[in-house]
Amino acid sequence: PGTWHEAAALSALNEGEPYGIEIGRHHVALYRVGNEYYATSNICTHAEALLSDGILEGCEIECPLHMGRFDIRTGEALTSPVEIDIRTYPVRVAGDRLEVCLP
């Protein structure tokens, strides 16, 4: 289950530039890697920094506050000090927009 929401224009999503949005109570970070798109929670599980302010390298997002890293494909916490995985959300392309499925 979950509900699809319009998230962003594809033209707003640039490689290497995480893009933060809010949909209702959800803070979501969108990412583009080549022609693939991903979405995760935008809130770091360590101390609540916004991952959309961090640096995306390949499929790893580095938190701007303490440099913990997550895999944006799986949400897996990769490097200290982050230990708790972040949520990931399904995305799909609809025309020239990206949609995200939220619980």
Asked whether position 63 contacts ligand FES by CB under 6 A, the answer is: yes
Site residues for ligand FES, 71-100, by CB under 6 A, read 81-82
What residues have CB less than 8 Å from 49, skipping those under 6 apart?
Answer: 43, 63, 64, 65, 66
Asked whether position 16 contacts ligand FES by CB under 6 A, the answer is: no
What residues have CB less than 8 Å from 63, skipping those under 6 apart?
Answer: 44, 46, 49, 51, 54, 69, 70, 82
Asked whether position 28 contacts ligand FES by CB under 6 A, the answer is: no
Q: Which amino acid is at 10?
A: L
Spatial CA neighbour of 65 closest among 83, 53, 56, 78: 53
| Residue 21 DSSP SS3 | strand
The correct pick among 2, 9, 47, 58 for binding ligand FES (CB under 6 A) is 47
The correct pick among 26, 66, 73, 97 for binding ligand FES (CB under 6 A) is 66
Q: Which stretch binds ligand FES (CB under 6 A): 4-12, 26-34, 61-69, 90-98?
A: 61-69
Binding site for ligand FES (CB under 6 A): 44, 46-47, 49, 63, 65-66, 68, 81-82
